[in-house]
Amino acid sequence: MKVIKIFEIVTLLLLITAFHACESFLELPPENAVTVANYFENESDFEQAVTGIYSPLLTINDAGNYSDWALSEMRSDNTHFIYNPAVRGQLEAEHFADFLVEPDNPGIATMYNYYYLIVSRANQVLAHIDGADIETDARDNLKGQALFLRAFAYFKLVRYFGGVPLYLTPVTTMEESVLPRSTVEEVYEVILDDVTEAAQLLPGKADQETGRVTSGAAYTLLGDVNLTLGDYPAAETALKNVTGYGLLTDYAGIFDPQNEGNDEIIFEVEFLEGTVLGLESSFPYVFLPQLEDPAVITGVTPSNPGGGGFNTPTPDLIAAFEDTINDQRYTASIGYYSGASSMSGIVFDRIPYIKKYQHPHSLYGETGQNWIIYRYADVLLMLAEAVNEQGTRQGEAVLFLNEVRTRAGIVDAEAGSQQEMRELIANERRVELAFENKRWHDLVRTGKAVEVMNAYGQRIKENPELYYYLHANTGPIGASYNVNENKLIYPIPFRETELNPDLGQNPL
């Protein structure tokens, strides 16, 4: 044993001496492996790297019960879950709806990790692209996409978690991996800088490859950020630069996989059915009621039935549709099912479910349904809000609002006071953009979240059966729906505060 240990020590010393004596040796990348040093060499390399920045969005928007919709749409009064007392393994997913999220919740860890994965991959591209020997237009386009995606990721992170560490260059040491938290203001400053530059670099829709972000997407994000910050003139300016898009006549057609990339879509996460690459989406199944055989809705019979019961439309959302006969959004967005369930003793009686994402496909759990992040109706409604908030321009604001209402098939709204217009615009956003992850963020940025969600929680506790607690003597626990300012952001994931104690924890 002594001989072996001495040999190991001598060998180690010889290696250390050799490494110090020849620094150039350390700088040579291995020829049989892909490294940063030998990868970023041509336009194709950068195109692949930028594609890699997009890929975490697939998980973010299709991670089962812990997808982005759980942190946003189901956090609001738009949707709830169907309580199943026999299946309690999904309890932590339910906590997004009932405001009981703890730092060890796997959903917040998933979002935190994957949004930072976007940041990390964008940083690698941005660190190398300015010196790349590629054509200027191609370089600008690729750089613009990386800047947009980093800005978008930080916009989601700051709204979910408040001030977060700002990583703006690739991490190369352990010390660089544990940065302190930046302030909310500092994060927004980076977001604004990134997306402003992206808007100048990116091409318009007509000149961009399908599935990649455009200058219109950057101006939409810039408008959204400024609206969140309350800078209404800047939001208006940005949103009026979103050109080359328009409203489809058929609302349901916006979401049809056979019509993806249509004129209304500004930015969407693309999924692909029928490959072995794992690029399909399954989230439409999560939004179904619990059924023995989902084929009664999907047309595809599974080998092992189960799941569903999340993001279920609430009675509150359904009541927000002012004209359920003529409003094509109502019939396109919400379906009803009556019949047997997979829950013991429960037969559904017109249980609602999200219909807008249900389209024909061949294999169980494998759809080509994309997730739309921004579309032109959102731009028009943000414009209506930005204009209305600037004072006495209600007559102009209502024109943007009525473009959306006219397409929906309902009568025009009349311009009222600024407060009346606020309420009209908020409700129009609620029904037009239902199940698109907008409602929670709208409530927070307009200062209505605490009031609205406490009242909503009280209604659930008073009549739980209306909110899908269908078994006798079930309902939310008393600690749920106690909403205060601390609940407007999520806890920092436990694993992050363990790895980096300087992060601290958000007030719980």
pLDDT at 420 (0 to 100) = 98
Quick one: angle between helices 376-388 and 418-432, nearest 10? 170
Give me the pLDDT at residue 5, please.
Answer: 32
Report how far residue 122's alpha carbon sits from residue 132's, in angstroms, rounded to the nearest whole number. 15
Query: Side chain identity at 349, as an amino acid letter?
Result: D
d(CA 336, CA 352): 4
Condensed to tens digits (0 to 9), the pLDDT of residues 33-84 reads 556 666 888 999 999 999 999 999 999 999 999 999 999 999 999 999 999 9
DSSP state of 314: P
Q: What is the pLDDT of residue 3?
A: 31
Residue 432 CA, distance from chain mean position: 17
Instruction: Give the pLDDT confidence score for residue 34 in this predicted structure.
Output: 52
SS3 382: helix
Q: Which of 472, 414, 220, 442 is nearest to 317 (CA)?
A: 442
CA 86 – CA 340 distance, rounded (Å): 16
Q: What is the DSSP string of 452-476?
A: HHHHHHHHHHH-GGGGT--STT---
Q: Could you give the CA distance from residue 438 to residue 162 in angstroms, rounded to a whole number? A: 18
Q: 368 and 280 in contact (C-beta within 8 Å)?
A: yes
Largest CA distance in the chain: 92
CA distance 488 to 444: 7
Contact 155, 183 (CB under 8 A): no
Query: Of 259, 285, 276, nearest to 372 (Cα)?
Result: 259
pLDDT computed for residue 301 by the predictor:
85
Report how far residue 123's alpha carbon sits from residue 144's, in angstroms, rounded to the nearest whole number: 12
CB atoms within 10 A of CB 193: 13
- Segment (H or E) for 337: strand 334-340
Decide: 116 and 504 in contact? Cβ < 8 Å. Answer: no
Helices assigned H by DSSP within 66-105: 68-71, 91-98
Q: 3-state class of 413 per DSSP?
A: coil
Angle of helix 232-239 relative to helix 376-388, nearest 10 degrees? 150
> What are the CA-CA distances from residue 165 to residues 246, 277, 487, 492, 497 (Å)?
38, 33, 20, 11, 12
Structure confidence at residue 276 (pLDDT): 76
**Token pair 């010889």 is at which residue?**
14
- Considering only CA atoms, which of 380, 395, 373, 382 is closest in space to residue 234? 382
Continuous segment of H or E residues that includes residue 269: strand 265-269
Question: Cα separation of 350 and 339, whole Å?
Answer: 8
Note the pTM of the prediction, 2 decimals.
0.92
User: Distance of CA 141 to CAs 198, 202, 242, 392, Å?
Assistant: 8, 5, 17, 39
- pLDDT for residue 35: 61
The pLDDT, as a whole number, for residue 303 is 64
CB 200: neighbour CB atoms within 10 A?
Answer: 11
> Which pLDDT tens digits describe the chain residue by residue (508 residues)?
233 333 333 333 333 333 333 333 334 445 545 566 668 889 999 999 999 999 999 999 999 999 999 999 999 999 999 999 998 888 999 999 999 999 999 999 999 999 999 999 999 999 999 999 999 999 999 999 999 999 999 999 999 999 999 999 999 988 889 999 999 999 999 999 999 999 999 999 999 999 999 999 999 999 999 999 999 999 999 999 999 999 999 999 999 999 999 999 999 999 999 887 889 999 999 999 999 889 999 999 876 767 899 999 999 999 999 999 999 999 999 999 999 999 999 999 999 999 999 999 999 999 999 999 999 999 999 999 999 999 999 999 999 999 999 999 999 999 999 999 999 999 999 999 999 999 999 999 999 999 999 999 999 999 999 999 999 999 999 999 999 999 999 999 999 999 998 899 999 9
In this structure, the chain runs to a length of: 508
How far apart (Å, rounded) are the C-alpha atoms in residues 437 and 278?
Answer: 24
Domain boundaries, the chain: 283-354
Assigned token pair, 65: 């019960």
Token pair of 63, please? 């991670």
Specify the residue for token string 């101006």: 219
Burial of 223 (0-12, 13-18, 19+ CB in 10 A): buried
Beta bridge partners of 265: 375
* Helix/strand/coil percentages in the chain, nearest 5: 55, 5, 40
Q: Which helix (H) or strand (E) holds 334?
A: strand 334-340
| Element of type H or E holding 107 | helix 106-128
Contact 348, 119 (CB under 8 A): no
